[in-house]
A and B are shown apart, each in its own frame.
Chain A
């Protein structure tokens, strides 16, 4: 070897090297923050700032002509709640029913895609996502046509006397579907179904098929295997799917607007009209905050109850 003959490296490059060694980790440590920056900015501009603005709006009093001023008038909250609690209850009820229906329809579908579809998997997935290619509004308007009074669906339901039963239950009125709770819940269920199916599919698809074999090997019949292995392991998907369905459904106003009547107004409709028609901004902002707090409380309770923190 010739190491002994190699001249000692000059001083200057040596110090430059050690300088670089000292600076690189600092730069490296900053990289995560740079990567976070766009997200943080986005959150500040489009979430935190409007939130603060709305909070201050909800505490203002005044009128459009005289202008609004922050007067810390907390009573707006109580007044809003006292006046619009039926719409709150209705929103939660409709959203809950729609979520349960989504789960009932979505779980078998996701199960089918994950375990039985084989080479048709992608085709079925596309069919699930396909409605997203049209706008939410148009899809909901289409349901107006589907459920129209003289339409074939209502005709068939009348013929089979289904509407007599649903009317007795109070979810439809007379011989029509439109402008009844049934129509609004149908619209919600349809519109939010993909939000249920996709997370369910993701968590079902992750389950090792050998776990099913192991359960069968350990004397579990197919139904028991589902109850003891498949369903518990799909809980993260169930929780994610129900949240992704329930939260937007509770705040939705399009379905109630297009498919319901004044008797099916949800809290979203109230907030919309307070903001855009009545122009009572403080009440609208207060209602928004109440809705947000209520959903936050319900979701927290739900996640606690379902005990899936360590499964996600």
Chain B
């Protein structure tokens, strides 16, 4: 039987060096370097066809990389078949064995490694995922959420160095998905195994992962902690794919100090120089960005009472939709297009109705700037499409 090490409670790290995959003339993954630290919860986030699943399958050994190497805990496993890798996968749609009951599904990996007394481990694992009483049922007799937990148990029982999750929550409804996100996070904290999670759901990635790699067109666009990615997107794709961003065409007027001064249409915008990811000299074009929840609205009549030093843009409310915790406005700013604003429903100004002339204002510190030499709408519609 396959050589196995004594099960370890902590995970291993994954190191991808120059890994790529091409199918004929189509490049699914461009040469990619990626390090997943041991014990972390790492998410590969992107729309369908961005290469995230291919990357995962190359780590699992289900796909052979065209170039590059895969290292697990410092060992090169590039040429090893899947059954020789200390890696287990939770498949999309789970791929549970329909001819075996839950108990035997979970015991499958242990039995293949020649372990005779599996009872204690299987029962412990079924308890961990709260499926003890279901042990003798067949997979098709279980609900989607239960099948998902069986898939996790079947993989985790082998104490892999790395657990790979391929869109594990994709088939579940929203409420169950939220519940399973917390559940998976709890299990990961409990067992300390490295998790690599592939998803198209940005909220899922941000909720669960310590580190998120945003992939687009077979490349990693940006990698970092969820808050870091959200606050400081490096590309328009990341800015639009993770949440919503207002991106405004602007020109650098003054550069060099702590602050950058931009001109957008007739308005002046300021932002901290370190939040500009593009090289900015006077006269350069950039895209100024601000998240909708960071922007406030004031009626045009009240514009005089606003504090000094805030970024302002005049506009007219085009649409307002009340969604409970907040009201989402679409504001038409002459010369700059439509901007989104999310206002908390705390003190609602009755004058803020569609058609009203208003002023948008926000703290310059919440402004970021991107290289203008990219598609302003990249990644904007993918999110809804995929969800």
A-side residues, CB < 8 A to B, are 208, 210-211, 213-221, 224, 228-229, 232-233, 311
Contacts and interface: CB of A to CB of B under 8 A. Distances in A.
B60 A217 contact: yes
A208 B109 contact: no
Contacts of A220: 83, 108, 112
A213 B85 CA distance: 13
A210 B81 contact: no
A217 B62 contact: yes
Contact of B82 (A217, A229, A311): A217
Contacts of A218: 83, 88, 108-109, 112, 154-155, 158
Contacts of B96: 214
A224 B81 CA distance: 14
B99 A216 contact: no
A207 B99 CA distance: 11
Nearest to A225: B83
B2 A219 contact: yes
A228 to B, nearest CB: 8
Contact of A233 (B2, B87, B98): B98
Contacts of B109: 218-219
A213 B82 contact: yes
Max chain B C-beta neighbours (<10 A), residue from A228, A232, A233, A311:
A228
Contacts, number: 63
B158 A213 contact: no
Nearest to A208: B95
Nearest to B107: A218
Contact of B62 (A216, A219, A221, A228): A216
A233 B83 contact: no
Nearest to B96: A214
Contacts of B88: 217-218
B277 to A, nearest CB: 39
B110 to A, nearest CB: 9
Given A216-B82, A216-B83, A221-B2, 6 more contacts: A213-B62, A217-B82, A218-B112, A218-B154, A218-B158, A219-B112
B112 A210 contact: no
Contacts of B89: 213-214, 217
Contact of A224 (B91, B112, B158): B112
B146 interface: no
A193 B61 CA distance: 37
A311 B61 CA distance: 31
A216 B108 CA distance: 11
A221 B112 CA distance: 9
Nearest to B82: A216
Contacts of B4: 219
Nearest to A224: B112
Interface string B98-115: 110000000011001100
17 contacts: A210-B93, A213-B62, A213-B89, A216-B61, A216-B62, A216-B83, A217-B60, A217-B87, A217-B155, A218-B109, A219-B4, A220-B108, A221-B2, A221-B83, A229-B99, A232-B99, A311-B99
A55 B283 CA distance: 103
A210 B99 contact: no
B95 A219 contact: no
A210 B113 CA distance: 20
Contacts of A211: 95, 97
A208 B91 CA distance: 12
Contacts of A228: 108, 112
Interface string B70-92: 00000000000111000111010
Contacts of A233: 98-99
A217 B98 CA distance: 17
Contacts of A232: 99
Contacts of B2: 219, 221
Contacts of B91: 210, 213-214, 217
Candidate in B4, B62, B95, B158 with the most chain A CB atoms within 10 angstroms: B95
Contacts of A213: 62, 82, 89, 91, 95
A212 to B, nearest CB: 9
Q: Would you list the 6 A-B pairs with minimal beta carbon distance, nearest first?
A: A218-B109, A214-B95, A219-B112, A210-B95, A216-B82, A232-B99
Contacts of A216: 61-62, 81-83
Contacts of A219: 1-2, 4, 83, 109, 112-113, 158
A215 B83 CA distance: 8
Nearest to B88: A217
A213 B108 CA distance: 13
B260 to A, nearest CB: 50
B96 to A, nearest CB: 8
B62 A229 contact: no
Nearest to B93: A210
Contacts of B82: 213, 216-217
Contacts of A229: 97, 99
Contacts of B62: 213, 216-217
Contacts of A311: 99
A311 B96 CA distance: 15
Contacts of A208: 95
Contacts of B1: 219
A256 to B, nearest CB: 39
B106 to A, nearest CB: 10
A218 B96 CA distance: 11
Contacts of B83: 216-221
A236 B291 CA distance: 58
